[in-house]
Amino acid sequence: MIITGDTYIGRTAARSSSEWHSAFGGASSELRRCQSFLACVLGNDSVLGFDLVDAEGQAGEGYDVIEVRQCLDLSAVAGTAKVRICLRSGPFNSSSGIPGISGYYPFGEYRFTLIRYGALRLGNRTRLSDLFELDCAQLFDARGVSITSDSLLLLNVRGHGTSGSIQLVSRSLGLRLLKSYPTIYST
């Protein structure tokens, strides 16, 4: 467990996944959030919620982002349990009444930076796909059509030194980035 100021981030083995800090849930208003933490520890069966509003928006404005200034620690994720990333779109196209991500259409290439970190500790698992699972049950494109997890990839993007980010990208873009820049992007 990590304590930053008065904020509890993560959980201990004695806590259930429903006791995670409420700051990891999605925003209910049209204003996106940029959550910022000193450090973050995630364990088995934890859940992170992200609202995606605008495919052309910036992190913290068009969609939610979590910034971890020091270490994002995923070493406690073990066994078959994974960290679930719940992706949600909402009725943000109020003029059309369609609940979906504005500007997101099939066959487009999109990138959302979900988590920025100062350092990343993966533990025994080296692939993001071994640590995270995408929940797209509440995710829709600009037409109101469901977006499936098969059409998306999570990429670990190396930054300077130990820093980097975890990005959600459209599958076609992700595969191209992995092939073209294998020293920068990984799954």
| The two three-digit tokens of residue 90, written as one number | 């909402």
- Per-residue pLDDT tens over the stretch 88-134: 996 544 455 667 899 999 889 999 999 999 999 988 877 888 899 99
- Show me where the domains of the chain are located: 2-11+20-186
Query: Could you tell me the sign of the dihedral formed by the alpha carbons of 181, 83, 71, 76, in that order?
Result: negative
pLDDT range class, residue 169, cuts 50, 70, 90: very high
pTM (predicted TM-score)? 0.80
- Those residues whose C-beta lies under 8 Å from the C-beta of residue 61, and which sit 6 or more positions away, are 32, 54
pLDDT of residue 140: 94
